[in-house]
Structure 1
Amino acid sequence: MTPTAIMVRTAPGASFRYIPRSGADVAFARHTGSGNGNVDPLDRLWPRRIRSVIRSSLSCWEPAEFIDAAELLASELVTNALRHGRGDVRVLLTFADGCMRLEVRDESPESPVLRDASGVDEAGRGLALVRAEAHDWGISEDGMTIWCSLALPSLSPTP
């Protein structure tokens, strides 16, 4: 008979922390009004939905600033894909080598451009924000995926 669970004795005061391994993978079809600098009213809910997925996927990590930064990065990249990309949008969250990696892919081969927005510009700060917040970031060779990473917080025991 194969055991389905194993009990292990630990020292008094030992703590347990769930460490996510699978990440998240969300794909959605944009509405026809999104692109060319616009986001269709029906697509305006997607950044909020993706923030919820990110928050749920990272709920075991601390400090809260880490989760807030991940949500901000996801929101900026998804909004950018809706506003300037084409076709379906895919958001992939993975964990490896002490980092959380976030990828947002659409079907536009045009690479996003890092702009230097002035104080009066209403847009154009998204990638600058990603550059400032992320541990690392980049664009795939085909221009369809933009990614960023955040170093995972250390896993100190929680009392």
Structure 2
Amino acid sequence: MAFARNIGSGNGNVDPLDRLWPRRIRSVIRHALSRWEPAEFIDAAELLASELVTNALQHGRGDVRVLLTFADGCMRLEVRDDSPESPVLRDASDTNETGRGLAIVRAEAHDWGISDNGRTTWCSLVLPSLSPTP
């Protein structure tokens, strides 16, 4: 899935219309994973998607692309934008209102990383079972 950001997103800001994208992506993730259990797995996947998409909108450039793949017992989520600047994992203090996105990804994901060119941030979750529930 790909979408174009509004002109007001980037440089630390998210345009009000772009604030709808994390919710839309969560809905796509929930639908894609709706046959898997437990529900906590789906909740974690939605949280990771929200954080990565919001980060791309807030700090990236150009269109945002989201890719969800399944292989080797893992779900992999990739979020790409056109910014060559790598996302930065920060230590947000208790008084900071932002800066926790990648820390949340690091805490919730089985694994995560950033592509060498800085344009793709990815994370993975181990699937709870290899067979979808009926």
Normalising by structure 2, we get a TM-score of 0.97
Report the structure, 1 or 2, having the larger helix content: 2
Residue 45 of structure 2: SS of its match in structure 1?
A: helix
C-alpha distance after superposition, 1:80-125 (max 9, x if no partner): 0000000000000000011000000000000000000000000000
Normalising by structure 1, we get a TM-score of 0.82
Counterpart amino acid of residue 41 in structure 1: P
C-alpha distance after superposition, 1:43-100 (max 9, x if no partner): 0100000000000000010000000000000000000000000000000000001100
1:148 maps to which residue? 123
The number of residue pairs the alignment matches comes to 134
The structure 1 residue matched to 2:111, chosen from 136, 151, 154, is 136
d(CA) in 2 for partners of 1:158 and 1:146?
29
Q: 1:155 to 1:83 in 2, by over 3 A?
A: same
d(CA) in 2 for partners of 1:134 and 1:65?
12
Query: Segments of 4+ in structure 1 off by > 2 A?
Result: 155-159
**Equivalent residues in 2 for 1:31-42, closer than 5 Å:** 31-42=6-17
2:19 maps to which residue? 44
Q: Percent identity?
A: 87
* Residue 102 (1) aligns with residue 77 (2): yes
**Contact kept in structure 1, 2:92 and 2:100, CA below 8 Å:** yes
Residue 45 of structure 1: SS of its match in structure 2?
A: helix
d(CA) in 2 for partners of 1:97 and 1:135?
13
Report which of the two structures shows the higher radius of gyration computed on alpha carbons: 1
